[in-house]
Homo-oligomer: A and B are copies of this chain.
Amino acid sequence: MAIKTGQDYIQSLKGRKLTVYLFGEQVQDPVEHPMIRPSINAVAETYDLAAREEDLASPMSKISGKRVNRFLHIAESANDLVLQNKMQRKLGQLTGTCFQRCVGMDALNSLHSTTFEIDEKHHTNYHKRLLAFIKKMQEENFVIGGAMTDVKGDRSKAPSEQADPDLFVHITKRTADGVYVTGAKAHQTGVINSHWMIIMPTIRLLEKDKDWGIVGAIPVDAPGITYIYGRQSCDTRSMEEGDIDAGNSQFAGQEAMVILDNVFIPNDLIFMNGEVEFAAMLVERFTCYHRRSYVCKTGLGDVLIGAAAAISDYNGIPDVSHIRDKLVEMTHLNESIFAAGISSSYQAQEMKSGVWLNDDMLANVCKHNVTRFPYEISRLAQDIAGGLVVTLPSEQDFRNTTTGPLLKKYLAGRKGTDVENRMRILRLIENMTLGRNAVGYLTESMHGAGSPQAQRIQIARQMQLGYKKNLAKNLANVKEDAEESKENSDYFKRVFKIPK
């Protein structure tokens, strides 16, 4: 029976045989681990939202012919992409953290068009297999992780040139029924909270990298997989008594390293197998979707702006002009990110396979702003919060019968402010600017979907300097020096496309 609610989802994770290591020990039941549970709660919220707001989060799918969770939906229009962004912002607002399902969604969408185009050239049947897989996922309502980032080893070398072939996931054996793969994927967001993962190459491949050109679906509890849990700033606070010091006790993100040791993928779950010239296409389409998915951070930005506004109330100075001005600046930056994301979605185009792909230039612009503005929003939140955000005593001191009353007496702010509430908001700000969810709000904003330089390279590839030089030369009456128009990008075609 399909998963419906967040509660169903949590139930579905129980009793699985995953090999998960954390703090040097194997975790018996991740669902009940106090440090892991907040990350599961965040995924659960994606189910509850889908149930609560169907138009936003449960569209009708042409594939299964019924309403499905949007994270499993193939975009059938530009509006579908816009609605992904709106859902992402909403979930950011509701959880204040990374809810871990965008990679899977973006992987499915990018595979939709890529498998179609591989088949077109190679007469393979990956696209049909993919549709069958998607249909099944939609029917079961599963969580899919997208496993792309290899550990990479020496970055100046191709996969097949590495000292150790395992530094990129690759095929170790081929049988009539399928293939076996070995390697490791780093920074796997929410993977332990997923039901399936799709492994994909992480970079452009050469002819000699054929064994590394593998895309396939694997259940997360397949034999041969080891998970090593990633540490986060202040992660152990989730294991302390009380709920104040965690800042956001209910929700958190999750990153793990996944190690694959001869893991089997049957033929009908293979979606690319050696067609290395399509690796770059897959990576580029995936990052195109995914860089715009960082609109989710505007939802976290909304929370942090709200927290900064709340603490200025509690401090008794909400209407001071410089505080007000900083809240405006935070909002301006946050909405600048949102604008870039949804404009990319609105400017989408239909691919041969029928899926829609958002604008690549604007997706990169969105993500590039995400590598800058959350840091500044965070800095301003700390400015508004005051120094107490990093000198506040522990919740246990607040509960202690000697020190508790002293703290209540001396941390009184504006009349009528409850000291515990003031502490709670300060801890939330710490959580998002230094603590557990700073990992998602800041550092993941920097590196997820590609580091800043990756966006700059992609912007450079699309900036059409030849076209622009001709504009300038024309206005300056430059003689006999027009550039030939052999651009490698069609960004301006999309800019000036007439929407219907």
Contacts and interface: CB of A to CB of B under 8 A. Distances in A.
A243 B479 CA distance: 12
A305 B468 contact: yes
Contact of A309 (B24, B232, B468): B468
Nearest to A456: B328
B391 A96 contact: no
Contacts of A459: 328, 331-332, 335
Contacts of A158: none
B250 A388 contact: no
Contacts of A248: 475-476
Interface string A332-343: 100110111011
B472 A259 contact: no
Interface residues of A, number: 163
Interface in A386-427: 386-394, 396-397, 399-400, 402-403, 406-407, 409-415, 418, 420-421, 424-425, 427
Interface stretch (A101-109, A264-272, A277-285, A430-438): A430-438
Given A22-B397, A321-B321, A328-B460, A473 B425 contact: yes
Interface stretch (A9-17, A125-133, A358-366): A358-366
Nearest to A307: B472
Interface stretch (A110-118, A173-181, A207-215, A222-230): A222-230
A465 to B, nearest CB: 4
Count identical subunits in the complex.
Answer: 4
Contact of A23 (B343, B369, B396): B396
A419 to B, nearest CB: 11
Interface in A2-46: 21-25
A463 interface: yes
Interface stretch (A61-69, A134-142, A197-205, A492-500): A492-500
A351 interface: no
A153 interface: yes
Per DSSP, are chain A's interface residues mostly helix, strand or loop, or mixed? Answer: helix
A160 interface: no
A325 interface: yes
Nearest to A183: B410
6 contacts: A155-B315, A234-B234, A327-B465, A331-B463, A335-B361, A382-B442
Interface in A443-484: 443-444, 446-448, 451-453, 456, 459-460, 463, 465, 467-473, 475-481
A252 to B, nearest CB: 11
Contacts of A346: 82, 342-343, 346
Which of A302, A324, A335 has the most chain B CB within a 10 Å cutoff?
A: A335
A353 interface: no
A60 interface: no
Contacts of A444: 387, 390
A141 to B, nearest CB: 21
Contacts of A382: 442-443, 446-447
Contacts of A309: 465, 468-469, 472
Interface string A218-248: 0000000010111111101100000111011
A76 to B, nearest CB: 13
Given A231-B392, A477-B424, A369 B472 contact: no
B25 A496 contact: no
A420 B38 CA distance: 29
B83 A499 contact: yes
**Closest CB pairs A-B (n = 5):** A24-B396, A306-B468, A387-B447, A306-B472, A230-B391
A335 to B, nearest CB: 5
A321 B414 CA distance: 24
A498 B347 CA distance: 17
A293 interface: no
Nearest to A258: B410
A229 B237 CA distance: 16
A467 to B, nearest CB: 8
Contacts of A307: 469, 472, 476
Contacts of A439: 390, 434
Given A322-B325, A342-B343, 12 more contacts: A21-B400, A96-B472, A164-B409, A226-B402, A232-B390, A233-B234, A255-B390, A302-B471, A303-B471, A309-B465, A313-B469, A328-B463
B453 A418 contact: no
A206 interface: no
A51 interface: no
Contacts of A442: 379, 382, 434
Contacts of A313: 469
